[in-house]
Amino acid sequence: MTRVYYKEAVGALVVFDVTRASTFEAVAKWKADLDSKVFLDNGENIPAVLLANKCDQVKEGLVNNADLMQDYCKEKGFISWFDTSAKENINIDAAAKRLVEQILANSHSYKAGEDDGDVISLSDTGPTTSRKGSCC
């Protein structure tokens, strides 16, 4: 994919179909493409979660062994993996939550005071005006 597709991405879900081994074989290529084209501001790769979709159906290959999947994810740089089913809504929220937690952890790790001009602080306790009366 082109760099424009990844522009300003801060996380990724990489999905393969557990019923089609060819989609799992493509995961390493997809992750390498992602890692070569998009980076966090600190130069690190963006966090990526691997989703083994259609877990409600018969699985093929490596996904049958959780320990091997864990090792595979560690080797390829995924922060985690989940058996999912979009059809049955299995582990979709858990996978998204895991990715968002990592994205937020990454955003909090940037040094305070590094302002790129595009950030607005919502916690600013600047001057407030006092209004008298009961009308808006």
Confidence class for position 40, pLDDT limits 50, 70, 90: very high
Please, are residues 96 and 66 in contact by the beta-carbon 8 Å criterion? no
Q: Are strands 80-84 and 12-17 parallel, antiparallel or unpaired?
A: unpaired
What's the pTM?
A: 0.77
> Token match 């522009």: residue?
7
pLDDT at 107: 87
Sequence-separated (6 or more) residues with CB below 8 Å from residue 83 = 18, 52, 55, 63, 90, 91
Confidence class for position 113, pLDDT limits 50, 70, 90: very low
CA max distance for the chain = 71
**Residue 51, beta-bridge partner list:** 15, 82
**Residue 90, beta-bridge partner list:** 85
Helix-, strand-, coil-residue percentages of the chain, each rounded to 5? 40, 15, 45
Cα Rg of the chain, angstroms: 20
CA distances for 52 relative to 82, 120, 122, angstroms: 6, 37, 37
Better-scored residue on pLDDT, 67 or 126 = 67
Mean of pLDDT values over 69-95: 97
pLDDT of 125 > 70? The answer is: no
